[in-house]
Structures are given as C-alpha cells and as structure tokens.
Amino acid sequence: MYADHKPMTTETHPLSGRVMSGSEIIVQVLVDEGVSQIFGYSGGAILPTYDAVFRYNKEKSSDAGVTAEALPLIVPANEQGAAFMAAGFARASGEVGVAMVTSGPGATNTVTAVRDCLADSVPIVVICGQVPTAAIGTDAFQEAPVMSIMGGCAKHVFLITDPERLETTMRSAFEIARTGRPGPVVIDIPKDVQNWSGQFRGSGRLPVPGYRQRMHKLRQNVLSEAHARQFFQMLGQSQRPLIYAGGGVINGHASEPLRALAKTYGIPVVTTLMGIGACDTTEANSLHMLGMHGTAFANYAVDDCDFLIAAGARFDDRVAGVPDSFAAKARHIAHLDIDISEINKVKAVDWHHVGLLAEALESLLEYGKKTGFKADFGPWHQHVAELKSLYALNYDRDSELIQPYYVIEQINQLTRGEAIIATGVGQHQMWAAQYFDFRHPRLWLTSGSMGTMGFGLPAAIGAQFANPDKLVIDIDGDASIRMNLGELETVTTYGLPIKVVVLNNFGDGMVRQWQKLFFKGRMSASDKSLHRKDFVKAAEADGFEFAVRLENKADVPRVIKEFINFPGPAFLEVIIDRDAGVYPMVGPGQTYDQMVTGDFIPRRNKGKPEDPGTTGMF
C-alpha cells in the first residue's frame, strides 16, 4: 500500500535476486520508497549502514558522471535535531521523513521527536542501530531497550532479529508510517543483521493482516448517498454552519476539497493550531485559529454556530476545554475523521463518517452538485464579518517598545502568506499562529500536542531540504531556541537560506504569563535576564553573515526587509517588550464566554473573567 492507500504493484524489481548485505538492503529499500534525504548522526552500531549509504552514493555519482550525492546524508548537531529535521521534511512535503541514528544514546535522543510525531500524526521512519543480537540484554556498550522505550511513543516499533525479514520489515515500516492516521515508526536493527548477506527480493511486506484489514475497511468505507443526504439535511436546516478543521485535513491531503466545500456553500472555517493552512487565511470566510489562544472572533463564531462540521479534528483540551459548553448552541454536530477512536471520544456527535477524508469531502461535493443543493447564509456571513471587525486582533501600537505582533506583521507584509513558517514553543508560537497568513497547506510547522521547545530550528532545516526554492523562516524564542541551538551550524554547513528570528524577552514568556496571571507574579525559574547568552555572536560563530540585533522600534521595517531579502542564511534577534502577552486566552477549565482578551481586544462578556486557579492544565 502506498500513500494513496492503493495496493502495491507486483512488478519485478531490477535488482531482484542479487546478493546484498543487510545494510545494502536497507539503503535500497530507502531508495525504492522514494526517500530523498536522510537526517542522521553516525555511531558504532549503525556504521555498516552509513558505509552502505556512502558506497551507494559513490556508485551512483560515478555512473552519472557527476559528484552530486544520490541519497544525501544530512548531519545535525544532535540526534533529536535529526528526528525533528525528518519531521519538518515530512510536514512540509507530505512524504515520509527518515532519521538514522546509532544505538543507546543515539536512539534515546530521538524519543522526544518520535513522541512529537505520534502526537501530531507525522509520518517518519527512525532507523536505529543496535548492539549485535547475541549481546542484546547484556547491558552492552551503548545498548538501550529501544522496544520498551519507544513502545508508547511510536505508532509501531520493530526489532529485527531475523535478517531474512529485514527487507519486508523495512517496506512494512513505510507502509505503516504513511497509511491510515500517519505516525512515526521505529526500526531497531542489530549490527550483525546489518552485516548479514542474503538475497534481495525487491518486493514483499510483513504479514500484518489486522492492520491491512483496517486500512482496507477505510478504503472501502465510501460515503453513501443516504449518508450524504443526512448531512445535507442538517446543512439545510442550519442558518449558521461552521467548519472546524484540524490537522487531519492537511495530513489527509484534503485541503482542496475542504476549501471547495466551504466556498461552494459559503461555510466559514475555523482551524486548530495544527489545521492552519487548511484554508486560505486571507479569505473573507476564514476565521483563523480557534481555541485557548485562538482569535476572539473564531471562538465567538463557535459559540454562535448552529451546525458544527468537524473535519480531521479531535476536540482536544486546547479547543474544547469544557466539552459540554463547546458549540453549545449547535443543533447538530458532524464529524469526519480517519480514526474511529476519535468519534464521540470527547464530544457526542449527530453524524459521522470514518474513512479517507479527501474522498469523503469529494463525495459530499458531488452529492450537493448532483442534487442542486442551495442555501442562503447571507445573514451569517454578515454576522461573521461583524465578529471579525469588532473582535480583531490588536495590541499597543503606540508603545515605544518593540511589540512582537508588530514584528510578525512586518514580516507577513513581505511574505504574503507564501512562506514556510516553523516555530519553537511558547508565546512566539502563538503570536506566529495568530498574525501570519497562510495561503496553502504545509506552510505552518509547529509542535502542537507535545509542545516541544527546540522544534523550530531543526524543523525549518528539514522543510528547507523538502522545499529548496521556498522561503523558510524559523520564528523562535530565546528560551526555545536554546534547546537545539547547535543546529545553527547545520544551517550554514549546508548553505541553507533559512531566516531565523529570535523574539527575545529574556525568559520563558508563556510560563511568565501564567505566573503573572495565576501565581501572583512569582517568577519561579522563568526569568532569564541574568543569562549571558549573546545570540548574535553565537550566530556569527556558526557562520551567519547576516546576524543582527534589533532594539529600536523605528528600525523594524528597514531591518526586517534587509533580513528577508538577504540571499543566504540570516539571523535576527529582536529585543521585544518583556511584558507582551498572548491574547486572547481561554484559561483551563473555562469557556469561550470567559475568554480573556487583554487591553486591546474587546470582549462580549463585560464581566470579570473567573480565575481558573493554579491547578489547570498548562
């Protein structure tokens, strides 16, 4: 099965029957699966496979008469960086990203990125070297129990002890990573398996009947006319329909049919953090992000809608913190998803479909066209426009200090919704989600469910390799970028024209915001004003020819234009207002009606927001 969930072909492989080493088989399967980049750090237990990559590239280069590598190995500063680069590559391209690391600490350094990919449904394959089969369980040098460690963090984990199953396991790993609800697959390969020699078959996968039966059921579960009729009956009864789109729309390659459904019937769209880019944020009926730090007008639209259409979204705690109060006025809720476990998990729905999202949305469009369905949602469009006008994002535009929102607005004016934006995690992440435009899917790369600091820079590197002709910008925070600061050198080593912005407020900004709101201003371990890091000197030391610190508000437009237009890697540190906050904000355990909007965005409920206390989820 490939990415389109169709059965694999049975054509004979040109190398079928050739005797290869295990490591050569690994490399050939990577090539067969369409892998164009490997992100990884070498070490003893994975050396045979790294050598096989080297030999493969040398052979292909010699055959072609060129010096370019056929299967480039991108070497990061740290294995976590390698796995996040693979994740950034996957998020930006829709293809499976690949990381290759050694045993022990090499494998354990990827755990955070693997869990991050599982949480956000990102397809990567992590190949780990392992100590020889006979040494497993003896606490050998650089041994780690990868199966046990990764078991709860990955979509699936393989430990290959039978070299005859190496090839089929490799192919099955890619199948599992990319099909159904995508996710990370880890393959633990002992060194003796890599050194084994055997016949290359060129085809075949493991017998995983349960998984394939589920995939077959998904393919066969086509939206029926009767089911489509029920959907349009609810839409026909509605006066205020709203699409709630999540990351599953992007992962399921369903952005185009979703946009077509919204445009054809005039249905406004809100997206989750992971769904940003599913619809063009510059469109009039786009309400941007909903949820804890969503736009006020998106959240109020959810409160006001009478038919909620959830597509590839899971009603998580950042969106539906109080499930009973979420979309409480909706007469009907519909839910389309690829994962049956998400149906009725948090919020009871009146209509659902479990299957391939793009095909389901196309079926709805076809049924609507066939039956000539029409509806007039003009008053709802007017209401949505008023919400966007009355409760627009805003901030202190007269402040003498540099406001982070202003910085992002200035960048956005130049990029016009066409740049790939990667972020770390924290306030800067939310500001970027709120103030950037995204005209297409796969332009927004961020760690959603896990909220992993240090994600932004390596993800941007992976995205740049996936899209060498696109502008890639990492919007980061001073605390978040510290987590993987070593990857600055990776940017310049490979001459990547990535633009890195550090919004420096000298601390863990989001933590500080919560401490000010809910912990009476006790800044426990979040104030980093005494830290001595000179980010500009660090960037210069790593080879950035453009490395600038921006401290004067009047210089912002000029410096940002120079920064974006610089032809190579560029680094910009911006000293921002330390007290700048992320608003709107819906506290844990609170409803959208209790949303805090700060001093510059109006609220519908004029009463004082309730204090959610100090025990709520971050």
Looking at residue 263, its amino acid is K
- Spatial separation of the C-alpha atoms in residues 228 and 166, rounded to whole Å: 44
141 is catalytic: yes
Q: To which H or E segment does residue 361 belong? A: helix 357-371
> Which amino acid, 513?
Q
Catalytic option among 274, 289, 292, 510: 510
Give the position of tokens 């349009």: 232
Q: How distant is the alpha carbon of residue 66 from its chain centre?
A: 35
- Cα–Cα distance between 404 and 409 in angstroms, integer? 9
Q: Exposed e or buried b for every residue in 87-123, given b needs 16+ CB within 10 A?
A: bbbbbbbbbbbbbbbbbbebbbbbbbbbbbbbbbbbb
Instruction: Return d(Cα 73, Cα 368) in angstroms, integer.
Output: 49
551 is catalytic: no
Asked if the bond preceding 584 is cis, omega within 30° of 0, the reply is yes
What tokens were used for 23? 């490591």
Interatomic CA distance for residues 138 and 141, integer angstroms: 9
DSSP annotation string for 109-137 = TTHHHHHHHHHTT--EEEEEEE--GGGTT
- Residue that is written with structure tokens 């539906």 in the block: 320
Q: Please state, in angstroms and rounded to a whole number, the distance separating the CA atoms of residues 302 and 293.
A: 14
Catalytic residue selected from 60, 142, 256, 518 = 142
Q: Sheet containing 499-504: which strands, arranged edge to edge? A: 444-445, 420-423, 472-477, 499-504, 570-575, 546-550
Task: Classify residue 95 by its DSSP letter.
Answer: S
The rounded distance, in Å, linking the Cα atoms of 46 and 79 is 13
- The closest alpha carbon to 294, from 271, 274, 277, 278, belongs to 271
- 503 by DSSP, 3-state: which? strand
Structure-block tokens of residue 492 = 């310049």
Exactly one of 24, 33, 79, 143 is catalytic; name it: 79
Q: 155, 191, 347, 528: which is the annotated catalytic residue?
A: 191
Catalytic-role residue among 8, 58, 59, 141 = 141
Listed residue (130, 121, 416) closest to 280, CA to CA: 416
Assess contact for 39 and 74: CB atoms under 8 A.
yes
Separation of CA 212 from chain center: 26
Instruction: Compute the Cα dihedral for 419, 423, 427, 430 and give only its sign.
Output: positive
**Contact predicate 205/171, CB 8 Å:** yes
What is the rounded CA–CA span in Å between residue 377 and residue 379?
6
Q: Which helix (H) or strand (E) holds 461?
A: helix 456-466
Token reading at 254: 């369903």
User: φ, ψ for residue 142 (rounded to 5)?
Assistant: 55, 40
Active site residue 142: yes
Residues serving a catalytic function are 79, 141-142, 191, 510
